[in-house]
Structure 1
């Protein structure tokens, strides 16, 4: 009899405690949706603390800690989006027409499904070891790059059709008038196919149509169009990305850089190695000419954690070294040795 009473008491306490947990989770979720992240996190932490002490919940410590960490990361990532959303809900007058209301919300929240593509970075200081006429050896370099997925699964292979745009600019901030010396523009349309065979080192491949130009005319004009095939391999922590391209021929009178393949060749190879909070990337390019005409380039990029007191989430220190040809289009036939340091806003 005493044993039965004890079981009833345990069942009642456990049920009551479980209901309280459910209520607290619901309360935390409401705080989170309303953008009151601090209050939400306090509840999540208390739930984790209580759950770890009570064996009747049958929740493992590691599982709870993982859940809490994921919650914290999610809140940090969604905070800006939530703030925009809350601003729309609280500050913008209600519009009766549903389609118009959706349009206004999209314009204010800025949720257009854009993603980073290549690394977005700012190198306030770069130094070219070689002195060239008409430019200072110190300058600022930055890159902006985004991707917009257009449609999915056209061929039933789970592929993605995307548009991407990348801009790399060279800014002579050390000169009095601080002119932009060069900007290179790369719009492209590409298909990315996942490789579905299990236990294969090949993970995906991409087919792309790429245009590249520097937006200038006359003697400074540079442009070319390429089709390229890129593959993605993984060997534990090492990612290997070979790429081969075919230059689309142009009429001779319109060709600004007839011999560009003499310097850039027909492909490149990228080696990417993440280690803890660091990433190491090595890009190699060579024209594969076994003579005095052999030309190539090496670029090394390192991203590393910034000091915590800077409070710059999802930003990293960025170190870059380049040696060889075609750091920029205007210099495709010039040998460049450049070093720079700054901040990466994506990777």
Structure 2
């Protein structure tokens, strides 16, 4: 069943991206080195890291009832530890992300799974010959677990390397690879589902109004294990000072959460999101 959902989703999503590329005319240049250093110096030490959201929805590959419908929410923030230049012009920061799956339609509203993901990372900006921002790289140590014990315990650690850059007009891509360790107790086959990396593409169809986002993961297998996560962000208001959107998300695959990472699913959810603007420097804003 998973392969019948997974493969058409990839084709349809790629078609949407090509349509967006073809119809977009707005483009802003990335920051210069001077402007970026000035922006980093002025931004707060504490800020959003990944999207902060609350969304709810239903499965598309199973019966819809109080046990299969749920809500998912995420809180994520970043704390800059130093703005002073470290070796190789890097900067040090901490991040924390917590993702929760909440059965709000079931009796007593139980939490099914809560995933904790702290990290410490070094970031570095890369510039082209025109002295404009070309990419941002990070090297981080990450831990992720669900905080449980016994047979329900799930956790893994990884050294991650990440690079974000413009790949087309109004399109930013993030390429991330990880070297996992200390993960075989509780989830020895986890890499069969999460693989060794991911690609995330974010396309701005209309600035501050309509954004399309795609994330792809492929497990270490010759089967259809992995995941496709597509998101559409839409701002229904005339302005967007606080980076607030309505978000439609479709998740197809496995390992959306750690507890039942082997389970194949197709979930469509909608809700409210404060979208991260962590890589605003690529748009010149």
TM-score with structure 2 setting the length: 0.74
Q: Equivalent residues in 2 for 1:31-70 (5 A)? A: none
**Structure 1: 5+ residue stretches without partners:** 1-110
Q: Tell me whether 1:228 sits opposite 2:157 in the alignment.
A: no
Rounded to whole Å, the distance in 2 between the matches of 1:220 and 1:130 is 25
Rounded to whole Å, the distance in 1 between the matches of 2:133 and 2:241 is 35
Q: Tell me whether 1:137 sits opposite 2:68 in the alignment.
A: yes
Rounded to whole Å, the distance in 1 between the matches of 2:265 and 2:272 is 22
Which residue in the other structure is 1:258 paired with? Answer: 188
Which residue in the other structure is 1:69 paired with? Answer: none
Which residue in the other structure is 1:72 paired with? Answer: none
Rounded to whole Å, the distance in 1 between the matches of 2:161 and 2:138 is 6
Q: Tell me whether 1:322 sits opposite 2:251 in the alignment.
A: yes
Say which one has the larger Rg. 1
| CA positional deviation for 1:217 | 1.1
| CA positional deviation for 1:306 | 2.5
| CA positional deviation for 1:204 | 1.3
Q: Tell me whether 1:187 sits opposite 2:118 in the alignment.
A: yes
Output one character per residue of 1:167-207: Cα deviation in whole Å (capped at 9) or x when no partner: 11111110120011111110000111101233588411110
Rounded to whole Å, the distance in 2 between the matches of 1:135 and 1:265 is 31
Q: Report the CA distance shift for 1:262/1:256 in structure 2 as closer, same or farther (over 3 A).
A: same
Which residue in the other structure is 2:128 paired with? Answer: 197
**Higher strand proportion (structure 1 or 2):** 2
Which residue in the other structure is 1:25 paired with? Answer: none
Output one character per residue of 1:25-80: Cα deviation in whole Å (capped at 9) or x when no partner: xxxxxxxxxxxxxxxxxxxxxxxxxxxxxxxxxxxxxxxxxxxxxxxxxxxxxxxx
Which residue in the other structure is 1:118 paired with? Answer: 50
Rounded to whole Å, the distance in 2 between the matches of 1:136 and 1:234 is 41
Contact 1:306–1:315 (8 Å) recurs in 2? no
Rounded to whole Å, the distance in 1 between the matches of 2:74 and 2:238 is 24
Q: Tell me whether 1:239 sits opposite 2:169 in the alignment.
A: no
Contact 2:152–2:259 (8 Å) recurs in 1? yes
Contact 2:127–2:133 (8 Å) recurs in 1? no
Rounded to whole Å, the distance in 2 between the matches of 1:183 and 1:306 is 31
The root-mean-square deviation of aligned C-alpha atoms, in Å, is: 2.5
Rounded to whole Å, the distance in 1 between the matches of 2:243 and 2:175 is 27
| CA positional deviation for 1:346 | 2.6
TM-score with structure 1 setting the length: 0.61
Count of matched residue positions in the alignment of Structure 1 and Structure 2: 229
